[in-house]
Structures are given as C-alpha cells and as structure tokens.
Amino acid sequence: MPASMQEVKRRIVSTKKTGQITGAMQMVSTAKLNQIQKHAANYQIYSSKIRSVITHLAKSHLLDSSAVSGEVGKSQDGKVNTLSMIKQRPVKKTGIVVITSDRGLVGSYNSNVIKSTMDLIKNGNHNTEDTVIIAIGGTGADFFSKRGYNIVYEYRGVSDVPTFKEIRPIVETIVSMYDNEAYDQLVVCYSHFVNTLTSVFRAEQMLPISAENMGTDDLTEQDENDYQIEYETEPSQDAILEVILPQYAESLVYGAILDAKTSEHACSSTAMKSATDNAKDVISSLELQFNRARQSAITTEITEITGAQAALD
C-alpha cells in the first residue's frame, strides 16, 4: 500500500475514534441537561413565589421604610444584619458575579458570557479600580485575573446539578462582602437558557434590593395605596425582612447558577453533536479519497499487467 494511502487510512481510524469520544460526550451532556431541566422546573416554583413576595413588599414600600428605619451593619454577635441588603449608598465600587464553566468543550458558552460582561463594564464606564469580580467558574476567574481585575472571591467545581446547600455559603459570602462595603452594588452576569440551541446573556442587579430593581416604577398612586394597606406584620416588618431577604438572595444566586449550568450542558451537547457530525463528514471525505487512490492503484496495476502481456505476445 502506498505511503499516501496508509496516511489516509490512519486519519480515518483516528477520526473515527474522535467521533466516538465526542458522541459519548454528547450523550453524557444530554443526560445532564435532562436531569438539570427537571430540577430547575421544580425550583422555579419556589423562586417565583419568593420573588412575588419580595415584589409585593417593594410595592407596599416596606423595603423603603425598613431601609430608613432599620439599623444597618453588624449585630452584636458579629453576624451580618440582613437589612444591609436594602441599604442604598453611593456607588463607589461595583461587584460583578460572573458565572462560567470550569472546563472547555462547551462551544461559545464561556466566550459569550465573558464578552458580554466586558461590554457591560465598558458601557458602565467601569475599570479595574472601581470593579471587583466574584468568579463562579474557573474560566471567568482566570480571564479577569490575567487582565488585572480584583478577584475578591472565586468558586470552582460547581456540581453538574448544583444543590441549594452547595450554593448557600456563596450567598453568605456575597452578602457579607456587601455588608462590609467591599462593593456598593452587585450585578449577576450569566448565560440564560432559552432552549437547547439558544442561550442569551443576562445581567441582573442583586444588591441592594430595591423597588426599582423589582420593576415597580410604573405603579399608579392608587396601586401604591392598595399595596400599602395589604400587609400587617407581626412581630415587626424588620424581623420578617431578616428572614425573607436572605431567602430572596439565595434564590437569585442559586437560580442564576442553575440557569447557567443548564445553558452550559446545552452548549456542551450542541458542541459535541457538531463535532461528531463534522467527524462523520471528514470520514466520508477521507474514505472517498482512499477509495479513489486505491482504484487508481488497481487501474495502474491492471494497465501494467496488460502492457506486459501484450509485449510477450
């Protein structure tokens, strides 16, 4: 067999093995996607309920009155006063939570999140001096660290289907940093899952929690009065907020991570399917090239045999 045909055959074997690997990875990613979609659907019920409660509190101006009357800061036992989550203060530093993956082979998932986050920083006239990064995922942590941004916290190794218990320490750290004025507002940036083929970038302000963030600016005066009289709090509105605000913060971060992980698995499945399909196309092209070379060699041998036979006659 000519050397060129041997090389083509080796490439065919190698590409087939690669296609088998990417095909297996596609099946794994699809299984993870199905699993996390079921988990996210169940969690969405809780998330929508807690958001509804906070929205109603914002519309009734309970958040505004607590922000004014509540004592914000550290309590005597050293724990974070959760009322600091609704405390408005001048924005000197902006914290950005960037959710990316820890690995590659996820198509354009990481690059889209990072590019959109950089655009957000640029459009907000921020720089490395007034921006701090909270990186969830190694890709984002490495990217922003190399470009001189202050990584105040990073978390690697998020589970394929993250649990609420796993994410809670992250939320506690984020809120504690806000309470200690490591930043004055916090934005969560991640890839939102639309469907298997489509994901869109989202940037949501998490802290401080305010009526503006809840989309209540378009209420009429009558609507506001109706909401104002809707709640009677016991023992006090501050005591209730100290329970509900951490749950809301946890739901925001956990929901964003869950959504981002769903998008990651979808991108990984799509990327591996594309790689498998490309491998099949390459194999078809190589097999055609191999068959043509073999047919040419056979034709040459027949011609040589025929010519030799004619010479003998």
* Residue 86 C-beta-side C-alpha neighbours within 13 Å: 27
- Backbone φ and ψ for 163, nearest 5 degrees, come out as -100, 160
For the record, the structure tokens of 194 come out as 């639309």
CA distances, 288 to each of 254, 285, 312 (Å):
51, 5, 36
Tell me how far apart the alpha carbons of residues 145 and 147 are, in angstroms, rounded to a whole number.
Answer: 5
CATH code: domain 21-218+237-272 is: 3.40.1380.10
Nearest by Cα to 161 from 261, 256, 266, 46: 261
Distance, in Å, from the CA atom of 159 to the CA atom of 52, rounded to the nearest integer, reads 28
Nearest to 239 by CA among 82, 10, 22: 82
CB distance 187 to 94 below 8 Å:
yes
| Amino acid symbol at 102 | D
Q: Are 157 and 102 a contacting pair, CB within 8 Å? A: yes
Contact by Cβ (8 Å): 228, 61: yes
Which stretches within the chain are classed as H helix?
3-59, 62-69, 109-123, 138-146, 164-179, 221-228, 237-312
Report how far residue 112's alpha carbon sits from residue 157's, in angstroms, rounded to the nearest whole number: 20
Q: What is the pTM of this model?
A: 0.79
- Cis status, amide bond into 235, omega within 30 of 0: yes
Neighbours of 185 (CB within 10 A): 20
pLDDT per residue, tens digit, the chain (313 aa), is: 555 778 888 888 999 999 999 999 999 999 999 999 888 888 888 888 887 777 777 666 666 555 444 444 444 444 555 667 777 788 888 999 999 998 888 888 999 999 999 999 988 888 888 899 999 999 999 999 998 899 999 999 888 888 888 888 888 888 888 888 888 889 999 999 888 888 899 998 888 877 666 554 444 444 444 444 456 666 766 777 777 777 888 888 888 999 999 999 999 999 999 999 999 999 998 888 888 878 877 887 788 777 777 777 6
Q: Which of 177, 127, 123 is nearest to 147 (CA)?
A: 127
